[in-house]
Amino acid sequence: MSSGLKKAAFAAGCFWGVEKVFAKIHGVTDTSVGYAGGQTESPDYREVCTGRTGHAEAVEVVYDPAKVSYEELLITFWEWHDPTTPDQQGPDVGTQYRSVIFYYDDEQKKQAVRSKQLLESGHLFSRPIVTEIVPAGPFYMAEEYHQDYLKKNPGGYCSHFLRSPKIRQVLAGKTNS
C-alpha cells in the first residue's frame, strides 16, 4: 500500500452494492470484495454461502485520509444499508449478509463505536441496530468475477440505496468527538 493510505473494511449485505457505493467516494483509491470475520481459511464463495465459514461478504476500502476521512466512510456505511436486520439486507438472507464494521486500529474502533452510539441515541430506526464492530482479521479476496461486478454488469442486482439523509445530519462532525 502506498505511503499515507489507510484501509477500512465493511460488511453491509451483498458486497457488489457495497463496493459500488464506496468506489464512488473521492479519496477512495481502491476497493476489493471478499470475505471477512470467519474461521475458515481462504474460503470461496460457495463455502461462504453455506453459512458455515462464519464469514461476511465484505469490502476492503483503501483510502487517502488527506482526501476523505474515516468519518465520511462510516457515514456512507450507515446511509446505504439497513443496520437493524440481523443476517439480512433486502432479499439477501444469511450470516454472510450481516452488518459489520471491521476496524484496523483503536481510532477506527473509537469512531465506529461513537457513530453507532449517536445513531442509537438519535432514534432514527424503529428497531435496534445490530451492526457488529470487531477487529479486522484476515480479509480473503473473492473470486475475480466478483470484483467490480456492478461496473462490469451495470444492470446487475443491487439492493443498496440511500436510506435517509437524517443519518448524515446525526453523524456529520460528531464521530470524532
CB atoms within 10 A of CB 4: 8
Active site residues: 14
**3.40.50.970, 3.30.1060.10, 2.102.10.10, 3.90.79.10: which CATH number matches 6-171?**
3.30.1060.10
pLDDT at 110 over 90: yes
Pairing of strands 99-103, 132-135: parallel
Instruction: Specify the DSSP class assigned to residue 144.
Output: G
Mapping DSSP to helix (H, G, I), strand (E, B) and coil, where does residue 74 land?
A: helix
pLDDT at 66 over 70: yes
Each residue of 76-103: pLDDT tens digit?
999 999 999 999 998 899 999 999 999 9
The 10 Å CB-count burial string (b at 16+, else e) for 12-35 is bbbbbbbbbbbbeeeebeebbbbb
